[in-house]
């Protein structure tokens, strides 16, 4: 069985299409199809069933997945052993919720890449949980610690959130001196049916009224607040990027959460990914301390 055919098989399984696998591997879809047909002939079984939704694994294909992934991990480990420990190289795709991806990771990843010129990092910002089994990313940042799946999890960093509004909004609206005063104000928050993790249901936790201006994006919510649209719960680490905002009722309303670095269990044998994870955790914690030290209360 040819490893290159297994590599293409994994790409189709993860993308669920020939064209998606071709884009990931930078080869044309017709070639992908021919290589899958060759692999199916070699193993004597159909590995995919084509449907309107794309290419779905058959029973034989599902049984082949763990073996192909072990071969992938072994090959990455061999390449790492031959290249030596000097510096991080190659491409790493990191998935993250958009608040983390916009306001914490860019400066962290920039520093890591400055120190490792041969490294290429892709940050995929999506307001949902990543599927590492389908290799949507090499590793992902989550807002909750997963309890199922073949995953390894470590805490990336703790972070805090505060109630905030623009100085202009605060000047034009009733004063806020106690939590009961929140009822007289308009709120910005998440679209309720698009809250993908219970840890993000901030307004319910602080007893605020339902949000009138909503988005599934942290960046959009932050920009609503910068425009004086209302009150909202904001990551403290994002506030240095929004100097118009002031924290409110910090002695009475403050939330603490954690980001978790989530990896596929098999990747623990890949030294390059281990070194990147260690560096990411160290730099993220350092950056969090730096950003939170810049905070200003209204």
Domain CATH code at residue 114: 3.40.190.290
User: In this structure, are 53 and 97 located in the same domain?
Assistant: no
Tens-place pLDDT, residues 59-108: 999 889 888 877 777 776 666 554 544 578 888 999 999 999 999 999 99
Q: Beta strands 232-235 and 151-166: pairing type?
A: antiparallel
Q: Which of 83, 102, 129 is the last residue of a domain?
A: 83
Q: What percent of the chain has pLDDT over 70?
A: 92
User: In this structure, are 235 and 274 located in the same domain?
Assistant: yes
Residue 298 has pLDDT above 50, yes or no: no
Burial 246-261 (b: 16+ CB within 10 A, else e): bbbbbeebebebebbb
User: In this structure, are 41 and 187 located in the same domain?
Assistant: no
User: In this structure, are 51 and 94 located in the same domain?
Assistant: no
User: In this structure, are 52 and 155 located in the same domain?
Assistant: no
pLDDT computed for residue 149 by the predictor: 79
3-state secondary structure of 294: coil
User: In this structure, are 96 and 211 located in the same domain?
Assistant: yes
pLDDT computed for residue 129 by the predictor: 67
Q: Beta strands 188-189 and 151-166: pairing type?
A: unpaired
SS3 content of the chain, % helix, strand, coil (to 5): 50, 25, 30
Question: Are residues 247 and 239 in contact, defined by beta-carbon separation less than 8 angstroms?
Answer: yes
The number of domains in the chain is: 2
pLDDT computed for residue 296 by the predictor: 59
Residue 21 phi, psi (nearest 5): -65, -40
Question: Are residues 298 and 174 in contact, defined by beta-carbon separation less than 8 angstroms?
Answer: no
Burial 159-176 (b: 16+ CB within 10 A, else e): bebbbbbbeebbeebeeb
Tens-place pLDDT, residues 240-273: 999 999 999 999 999 999 999 999 887 777 788 8
Tens-place pLDDT, residues 135-158: 678 899 999 998 887 889 999 999
Q: Which of 22, 53, 83 is the last residue of a domain?
A: 83
pLDDT computed for residue 71 by the predictor: 79
Mean pLDDT of the chain: 89
Residue 297 has pLDDT above 60, yes or no: no
Tens-place pLDDT, residues 173-182: 999 999 999 9
- What's the rounded Cα separation, in Å, for the pair 45 and 37? 10
Q: What percent of the chain has pLDDT over 90?
A: 65
DSSP secondary structure, 3-64, as one string: HHHHHHHHHHHHHSSHHHHHHHHTS-HHHHHHHHHHHHHHHTS--EEEETTEEEE-HHHHHH
User: In this structure, are 104 and 38 located in the same domain?
Assistant: no
Tens-place pLDDT, residues 196-217: 889 999 999 999 999 999 999 9
Q: Which of 50, 83, 116 is the last residue of a domain?
A: 83
User: In this structure, are 178 and 95 located in the same domain?
Assistant: yes
Domain residues for the domain of 230 are 89-298
pLDDT computed for residue 80 by the predictor: 56
pLDDT computed for residue 169 by the predictor: 96
User: In this structure, are 30 and 114 located in the same domain?
Assistant: no
Burial 104-137 (b: 16+ CB within 10 A, else e): bbeebbeebeeebeebebebebbbebbebeebbb
User: In this structure, are 64 and 112 located in the same domain?
Assistant: no
User: In this structure, are 265 and 199 located in the same domain?
Assistant: yes
User: In this structure, are 226 and 94 located in the same domain?
Assistant: yes
């Amino acid at each position: 069985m040819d490893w290159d055919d297994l590599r293409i098989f994994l790409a189709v399984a993860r993308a669920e299409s020939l064209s998606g696998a071709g884009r990931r591997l930078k080869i044309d879809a017709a070639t992908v199809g021919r290589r899958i047909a060759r692999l199916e002939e070699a193993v004597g079984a159909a590995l995919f069933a084509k449907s309107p939704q794309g290419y779905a694994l058959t029973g034989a294909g599902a049984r082949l997945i763990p073996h192909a992934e072990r071969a992938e991990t072994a090959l990455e480990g061999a390449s790492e052993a031959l290249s030596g420990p000097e510096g991080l190289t190659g491409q790493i795709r990191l998935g993250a919720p958009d608040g983390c991806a916009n306001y914490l990771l860019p400066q962290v990843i920039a520093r890591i890449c400055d120190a490792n010129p041969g490294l290429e990092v892709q940050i995929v910002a999506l307001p949902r949980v990543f599927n590492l089994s389908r290799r949507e990313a090499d590793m992902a940042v989550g807002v909750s610690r997963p309890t199922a799946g073949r995953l390894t999890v470590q805490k990336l960093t703790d972070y805090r959130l505060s109630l905030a509004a623009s100085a202009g909004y605060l000047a034009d609206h009733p004063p806020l001196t106690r939590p009961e005063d929140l009822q007289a104000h308009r709120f910005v928050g998440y679209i309720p049916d698009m809250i993908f993790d219970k840890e993000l249901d901030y307004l319910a936790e602080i007893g605020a009224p339902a949000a009138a201006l909503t988005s599934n994006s942290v960046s959009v919510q932050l920009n609503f607040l910068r425009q004086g649209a209302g009150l909202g719960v904001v990551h403290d680490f994002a506030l240095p990027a929004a100097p118009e905002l002031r924290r409110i009722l910090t002695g009475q309303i403050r939330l603490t959460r954690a980001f978790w670095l989530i990896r596929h269990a098999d990747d623990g044998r890949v030294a390059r990914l281990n070194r990147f994870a260690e560096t990411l955790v160290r730099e993220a914690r350092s950056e969090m301390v730096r950003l939170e030290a810049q905070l200003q209360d209204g």
